[in-house]
């Protein structure tokens, strides 16, 4: 009997997985520069955690949660996003008030599988706790920008918006509610539901044309910002300009979840179509920690979809090749010597492979060629008698003899030169 993977899941295989490797390694190099620490939380959580944090009326909770009862009848959900779990862990483990954390792992949404949307997908995210300063918001946007650049994404648009703080939120909600109620018959069912559930801000998020025609003329958050929010927004824009990070203000950007406050942002691409244009998104969520039972602690963060990033790279024809330095060609009589040399190379941090199948020299050379190694070390009868190995530069085709005792040193030298070239 043959098994198949579940609908909406995928196997990530070479050579595509090499792109994944590149994205993950480059991202973590940047995260290290920012002094951010890794946190790993379970993929399963109490279902109520997400209802409480993401919001009862959100699409994620209503339609997309991957949930089930376990053997004791408990309501379990596979995490649909990272923030809720990180906030839960932050509170539960009494982590230091000020801490910047990052995570990497699979998220799950029970959606209708379609191109670019799997039921299991991967995110790398950052959550920064304890700092209310707008400088932190800009630092987080710069971090996101640095990551996108480092993974090879150069063509994107940054959209930002300032949501109301506690002080200026009420007046805006009042005004927006009044406006939407006046136009309620034009709105889609989904949006009417949002109004009923008091998730009024999310009407601004709706992609339906008829709703867009209404929201296009809706009162703008910007006109209701208090002095402090306005000052923060101006400073953020100033800083982004100074950092030469291009951005667009999008007054309808509210993000799909309940918990956002303050500066929110999205990095989007036009490479994959409108249904899957978000590369990375996040924003400030100053109320969530308290709402989840913790102290009154400000926070901000973002999440980046690795699947989507890789898709964009692939769409741009970017391929990642495995970089191997050495292939050892040998025969059955010299197998043990060759094997020991292979391991010695690796002990010296030099990537190397060989073939244990006792193939002909010719087919081994072909394999070395396929693997695009830089050098081939040949260990045959002649070499063994003369206490040397033959070393072939695969780029130039030049071959030379290298004494056994200096092989490692010589390989190191040549690779160093190759890097300099």
Binding stretches for Zn ion (CB under 5 A):
165, 167-168, 188, 191, 206, 208, 211, 226, 229
Asked if residues 163 and 261 have their Cβ atoms less than 8 Å apart, the reply is yes
Q: How far is the CB of 207 from Zn ion (least distance, A)?
A: 8
d(CA 220, CA 1): 59
Question: What is the helix (H) or strand (E) element at residue 33, kind and residue range?
Answer: helix 16-33
Q: Measured from the CB atom, is 216 or 420 closer to Zn ion?
A: 216
Between CA 98 and CA 105, with CA 101 as vertex, the angle to 5 degrees is 160
Q: How far is the CB of 300 from Zn ion (least distance, A)?
A: 16
d(CA 220, CA 135): 24
Question: Nearest to residue 145, comparing CAs of 158, 134, 135?
Answer: 158
Q: How far is the CB of 1 from Zn ion (least distance, A)?
A: 46
Peptide bond into 45 cis (omega under 30): no
Residue with tokens 């010299």: 334
d(CA 410, CA 420): 15
Q: How far is the CB of 117 from Zn ion (least distance, A)?
A: 20
Q: How far is the CB of 70 from Zn ion (least distance, A)?
A: 36
Distances (CA, A) of 249 to 4, 171, 220, 241, 245: 45, 21, 12, 13, 13
| Pair type for strands 388-393 and 375-379 | antiparallel
Q: How far is the CB of 10 from Zn ion (least distance, A)?
A: 31
Q: How far is the CB of 65 from Zn ion (least distance, A)?
A: 21
Q: How far is the CB of 395 from Zn ion (least distance, A)?
A: 59
Q: Measured from the CB atom, is 212 or 401 closer to Zn ion?
A: 212
Q: Measured from the CB atom, is 111 or 208 closer to Zn ion?
A: 208
Task: Please provide the DSSP assignment of 216-285 as one string.
Answer: TTSPPGGGG--HHHHHHHHHHHHHHHHTT---EE-TT---SSTT--SEEEEEE-SSS-GGG-EEEEEEE-
Q: What are phi and psi of 174, to 5 degrees?
A: -60, -50
List % helix, strand, coil for the chain (3-state, nearest 5). 45, 20, 35
Q: How far is the CB of 249 from Zn ion (least distance, A)?
A: 16
Question: What is the helix (H) or strand (E) element at residue 379, kind and residue range?
Answer: strand 375-379
Question: What is the helix (H) or strand (E) element at residue 376, kind and residue range?
Answer: strand 375-379
Q: What are phi and psi of 180, to 5 degrees?
A: -70, -35
Q: Measured from the CB atom, is 188 or 324 closer to Zn ion?
A: 188
Q: Measured from the CB atom, is 167 or 382 closer to Zn ion?
A: 167
Residues whose CB falls within 8 Å of the CB of residue 268, separated by 6 or more in sequence, listed in order: 156, 157, 159, 277, 278, 279
Q: How far is the CB of 350 from Zn ion (least distance, A)?
A: 58
Let me know how long the chain is: 421
């Amino acid at each position: 009997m043959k098994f198949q993977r579940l609908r909406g899941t995928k196997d990530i295989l070479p050579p595509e997985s090499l792109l994944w490797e590149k994205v993950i390694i480059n991202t973590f190099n940047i995260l290290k520069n920012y002094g951010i620490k890794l946190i790993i939380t379970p993929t399963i959580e109490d279902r109520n955690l997400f209802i409480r944090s993401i919001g009862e009326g959100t699409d994620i909770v209503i339609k997309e949660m991957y949930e089930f009862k376990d053997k004791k009848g408990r309501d379990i959900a596979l995490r649909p996003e990272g923030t809720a779990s990180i906030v839960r862990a932050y509170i539960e483990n009494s982590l230091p008030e000020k801490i910047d954390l990052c995570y990497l792992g699979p998220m799950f949404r029970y959606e209708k599988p379609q191109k670019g949307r799997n039921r299991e997908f991967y995110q790398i995210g950052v959550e920064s706790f304890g700092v209310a300063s707008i400088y932190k918001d800009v630092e987080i946007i710069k971090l996101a920008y640095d990551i996108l650049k480092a993974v090879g994404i150069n063509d994107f648009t940054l959209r930002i918006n300032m949501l109301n703080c506690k002080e200026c939120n009420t007046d805006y909600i009042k005004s927006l509610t009044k406006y939407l109620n006046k136009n309620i018959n034009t709105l889609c069912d989904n949006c009417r539901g949002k109004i009923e559930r008091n998730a009024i801000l999310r009407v601004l998020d709706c992609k339906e044309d008829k709703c867009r025609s209404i929201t296009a003329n809706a009162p703008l958050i910007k006109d209701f910002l208090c002095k402090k929010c306005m000052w923060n927004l101006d400073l953020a824009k100033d800083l982004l300009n100074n950092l030469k990070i291009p951005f667009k203000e999008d007054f309808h950007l509210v993000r799909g979840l309940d918990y956002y406050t303050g500066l929110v942002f999205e990095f989007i691409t036009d490479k994959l179509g409108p249904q899957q244009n978000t590369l990375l998104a996040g924003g400030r969520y100053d109320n969530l920690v308290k709402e989840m039972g913790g102290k009154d602690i400000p926070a901000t963060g973002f999440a980046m979809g690795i699947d989507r990033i890789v898709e964009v790279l692939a769409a741009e024809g970017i391929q990642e090749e495995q970089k191997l330095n050495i292939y050892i060609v040998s025969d059955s009589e010299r197998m043990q010597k060759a094997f020991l040399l292979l391991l010695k190379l690796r002990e010296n941090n030099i990537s190397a492979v060989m073939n244990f199948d006792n193939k002909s020299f010719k087919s081994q050379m072909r394999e070395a060629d396929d693997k695009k190694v830089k050098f081939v070390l040949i260990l045959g009868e002649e070499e063994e008698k003369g206490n040397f190995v033959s070393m072939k530069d695969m780029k130039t085709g030049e071959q030379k003899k290298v004494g056994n005792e200096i092989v490692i040193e010589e390989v190191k030298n040549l690779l160093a030169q190759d890097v300099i070239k």
